[in-house]
C-alpha cells in the first residue's frame, strides 16, 4: 500500500472495524454516502462503490428512526466499515450502535442539545454506548459550528477556538478512561486546516487525526484546496485518515476516494505539485460535499452554476458559500460574504449572518448576481473614495 511509505507521527492505535488507524498504520482513505439513507438500494450501491474504490470507511447520515431502520438493512447488505454521522441527533447513538463501527459527533452541535445537561455528561453517555457496542468515536470539530462559549473565548481567532474545543473533548474522553477516539478539525480554507491540525498535533501528538478540507467544492478547485492542506500536513507525518470533500453528483461520489489515494501516492513519491495559495485575495467559492441530508439534488447543479456565473468576479476578494442542507447550511454560511443554503424547494440567501430571503431554484442565480454586484460596487466605491 502506497500510504504505508509515508512517515507517520507516533499516534496511538485506534481500531475501527477491520482497520486500525495510527501507530504507524497506513493512512486510510474514506468517503460519505450522498444518497438518502432510507433509499437502501442506492445507499448500498454507493457504499460498495466507495469500498471498491479503496475506501476504508463509509460514512452515512442518520437523522431519525426511519434512517436507523434503513441502516440495519444497509449493514446486512454491505461488508463496508460503516460510520454514522450524529449531527443533530446524538441521542440516536444507542440505536445505530449495533450497525456501525464508529460514530462521529460534533462538539458544537452537542452543546446546543439538552442545554440544561452538562456537555461532559452527554459525552459520557456517548462513551458508554461506544463501550457497550465496541465502537470508536470521532470528535469532529467544524469551523462553522464551534460552540458559542468557545467562540466567546477566542472571538478573533477561530482556529484557536477549534483547537481548544477539540482539546476540551479529548480531556473529557481521557477523564472517562476511553482512548478509542480520533479527532478532526476542518475548515473550508486550507490555511486554517493546516494551522489547526499542526497546533493540535503539537498539543496532543498521541491522538490520531482525520484530515479534510470541509466544503472544498467542485473539482478541480476542490481537489487543489485539499491537496494544499494534505501535502503540508501528511508530509510532516500529521494525519491518519483523510476525506476529500468534493461537490459531485451521486454516481461520481466514489471519486473522492480515488483522488485521496492519488494525493497520498504523490506525497509518498515526493511529487509535490505547484499549487496556488488560498490567501483570500481572490473570489473563493466553497460548497459542501453532497450527502444524504441534501433535500434537493439540484444543489450540485446549482453549485456548478454559481461557479460559472461568478467568473467575472474572480479578482474580488469575496467568499460565496453554497450549502446543501438545513443542518449545516445556516451556520456554515455565517462567515461568507454571500451564503446560499438549499431546502427542498427554495434556496435561502444570506449576507453573512443576515438573511436576504428565500428564492426558488429558478430565481436564485439572478438574485445572487444582484447581491454580488452590489458588494463589488460598494468595495470599489470604498477604494475609490
Question: How many domains are there within the chain?
Answer: 2
Of 277 and 65, the one with more pLDDT: 65
Within this chain, do residues 128 and 98 fall inside the same structural domain, yes or no? yes
pLDDT above 70 coverage of the chain, percent: 96
Whole-angstrom Cα distance, residue 57 to residue 16? 9
- From 268, 302, 322, the end of a domain falls on 268
- pLDDT of 338 above 90: yes
Closest CA to 346 of 293, 272, 295: 295
Q: Is residue 172 part of a domain?
A: yes
Within this chain, do residues 217 and 288 fall inside the same structural domain, yes or no? no
For 265, phi then psi, to 5°, come to -60, -45
**Lowest-pLDDT choice from 104-108, 271-275, 356-360:** 271-275
Cell for 54? Answer: 479503496
Within this chain, do residues 326 and 301 fall inside the same structural domain, yes or no? yes
The gap from C-alpha 224 to its chain's centroid, in whole angstroms, comes to 16
Whole-angstrom Cα distance, residue 273 to residue 227? 9
Q: Pairing relation of β-strands 319-323 and 284-287?
A: parallel
Within this chain, do residues 148 and 72 fall inside the same structural domain, yes or no? yes
Q: Is residue 304 part of a domain?
A: yes
- pLDDT of 1 above 50: no
Contact between residue 172 and residue 187 where contact means Cβ atoms under 8 Å apart: no
CATH number for the domain spanning 211: value is 3.20.20.20
296-318 pLDDT per residue, tens? 888 889 999 999 999 999 999 99
191-210 pLDDT per residue, tens? 999 999 999 999 999 999 99
- pLDDT of 357 above 50: yes
CATH number for the domain spanning 322: value is 3.30.413.10
Q: Is residue 277 part of a domain?
A: no
List Cβ neighbours of 60 (8 Å cut-off, separation of 6 or more). Answer: 32, 33, 37, 43, 47, 71, 74, 82, 83, 84, 85, 292
Mean pLDDT for 69-85 is: 96
154-164 pLDDT per residue, tens? 998 999 999 99
Q: Is residue 278 part of a domain?
A: no
Domain that holds residue 335: 284-384
Within this chain, do residues 64 and 146 fall inside the same structural domain, yes or no? yes
Strand order in 284-287's β-sheet? 284-287, 319-323, 338-342, 346-351, 354-360
- From 243, 268, 293, the end of a domain falls on 268
Within this chain, do residues 197 and 336 fall inside the same structural domain, yes or no? no
Q: Name the average pLDDT for the chain.
A: 91
Rg (the chain; Cα; Å):
20
Within this chain, do residues 263 and 303 fall inside the same structural domain, yes or no? no
List Cβ neighbours of 244 (8 Å cut-off, separation of 6 or more). Answer: 29, 31, 212, 216, 222, 223, 226, 256, 257, 259, 260, 263
Give, rounded to a whole angstrom, the gap between the first and last alpha carbons of the chain: 59
pLDDT above 90 coverage of the chain, percent: 70
Q: Is residue 290 part of a domain?
A: yes
What confidence category does residue 341 fall into, taking pLDDT thresholds of 50, 70 and 90? very high
In this prediction, residue 279 carries a pLDDT of 60
Within this chain, do residues 299 and 256 fall inside the same structural domain, yes or no? no
Within this chain, do residues 303 and 252 fall inside the same structural domain, yes or no? no
Within this chain, do residues 258 and 307 fall inside the same structural domain, yes or no? no
- pLDDT of 230 above 80: yes
Within this chain, do residues 224 and 369 fall inside the same structural domain, yes or no? no
Mean pLDDT for 86-98 is: 88
For 141, phi then psi, to 5°, come to -90, 130
Whole-angstrom Cα distance, residue 356 to residue 348? 8
pTM for this one?
Answer: 0.82
SS (HEC) of the chain: CHHHHCCCCCCCCEEECCEEECCCCCCEEEEECCCCCCCHHHHHHHHHHHHHCCCCEEEEECCCHHHHHHHHHHHHHCCCCEEEEECCCHHHHHHHHHHCCEEEECHHHHHHCCCCCCHHHHHHHHHHHHHHCCCEEEEEEEHHHCCHHHHHHCCCCHHHHHHHHHHHHHHHHHHCCCCCEEEEEECCCHHHHHHHHHHHHHHCCCCCEEECCCCEECCCHHHHHHHHHHHHHHCCCCCCEEECCECCCHHHCCHHHHHHHHHHHHHHCCCCCCCCCCCCCCCEEEECCCCCCCCCCHHHHHHHHHHHHHHHHCCCCCEEEEECCCCCHHHHCCCCCEEEEECCCEEEEEECCEEEEEEECCCHHHHHHHHHHHHHHHHHHHHHC
In this prediction, residue 295 carries a pLDDT of 80
- From 268, 297, 332, the end of a domain falls on 268
| Number of residues assigned to the chain | 385
Within this chain, do residues 226 and 290 fall inside the same structural domain, yes or no? no
What confidence category does residue 332 fall into, taking pLDDT thresholds of 50, 70 and 90? confident
Q: Is residue 275 part of a domain?
A: no
Whole-angstrom Cα distance, residue 287 to residue 38? 24
Q: Is residue 29 part of a domain?
A: yes
Of 379 and 100, the one with more pLDDT: 100
Q: Is residue 235 part of a domain?
A: yes
Q: Pairing relation of β-strands 241-243 and 28-32?
A: parallel
In this prediction, residue 385 carries a pLDDT of 44
Amino acid at each position: 500500500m502506497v500510504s504505508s511509505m509515508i512517515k507517520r507521527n507516533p499516534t496511538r492505535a485506534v481500531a475501527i472495524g477491520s482497520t486500525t488507524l495510527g501507530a504507524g498504520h497506513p493512512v486510510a482513505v474514506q468517503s460519505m454516502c450522498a444518497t438518502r439513507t432510507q433509499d437502501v438500494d442506492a445507499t448500498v450501491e454507493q457504499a460498495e462503490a466507495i469500498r471498491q474504490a479503496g475506501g476504508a470507511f463509509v460514512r452515512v447520515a442518520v437523522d431519525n428512526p426511519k434512517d436507523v431502520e434503513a441502516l440495519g438493512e444497509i449493514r446486512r447488505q454491505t461488508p463496508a466499515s460503516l460510520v454514522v454521522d450524529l449531527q443533530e441527533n446524538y441521542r440516536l447513538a444507542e440505536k445505530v450502535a449495533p450497525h456501525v463501527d464508529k460514530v462521529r459527533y460534533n462538539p458544537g452541535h452537542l452543546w446546543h442539545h439538552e442545554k440544561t445537561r452538562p456537555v461532559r455528561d452527554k459525552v459520557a453517555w456517548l462513551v458508554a454506548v461506544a463501550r457497550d457496542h465496541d465502537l470508536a468515536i470521532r470528535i469532529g470539530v467544524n469551523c462553522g459550528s464551534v460552540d458559542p462559549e468557545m467562540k466567546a473565548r477566542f472571538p478573533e481567532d477561530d482556529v484557536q477556538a477549534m483547537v481548544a474545543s477539540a482539546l476540551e473533548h479529548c480531556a473529557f474522553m481521557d477523564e472517562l478512561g476511553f482512548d478509542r477516539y480520533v479527532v478532526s478539525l476542518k475548515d473550508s480554507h486550507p490555511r486554517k486546516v493546516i494551522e489547526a491540525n499542526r497546533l493540535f498535533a503539537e498539543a496532543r501528538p498521541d491522538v490520531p487525526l482525520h484530515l479534510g478540507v470541509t466544503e472544498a467544492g467542485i473539482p478541480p478547485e476542490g481537489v487543489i484546496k485539499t491537496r494544499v492542506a494534505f501535502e503540508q500536513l501528511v508530509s510532516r507525518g500529521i494525519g491518519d485518515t483523510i476525506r476529500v470533500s468534493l461537490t459531485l453528483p451521486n454516481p461520481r461520489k466514489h471519486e473522492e476516494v480515488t483522488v485521496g489515494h492519488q494525493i497520498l501516492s504523490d506525497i509518498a513519491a515526493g511529487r509535490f505539485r505547484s499549487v496556488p495559495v488560498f490567501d483570500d485575495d481572490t473570489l473563493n467559492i466553497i460548497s459542501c460535499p453532497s450527502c444524504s441530508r441534501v433535500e434537493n439534488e439540484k444543489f450540485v447543479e446549482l453549485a456548478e452554476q454559481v461557479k460559472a456565473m461568478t467568473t467575472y468576479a474572480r479578482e474580488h476578494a469575496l467568499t460565496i458559500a453554497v450549502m446543501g442542507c438545513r443542518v449545516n447550511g445556516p451556520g456554515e454560511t455565517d462567515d461568507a460574504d454571500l451564503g446560499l443554503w438549499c431546502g427542498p424547494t427554495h434556496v435561502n440567501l444570506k449576507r453573512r449572518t443576515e438573511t436576504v430571503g428565500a428564492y426558488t431554484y429558478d430565481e436564485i442565480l439572478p438574485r445572487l448576481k444582484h447581491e454580488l454586484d452590489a458588494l463589488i460596487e460598494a468595495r470599489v466605491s470604498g477604494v475609490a473614495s
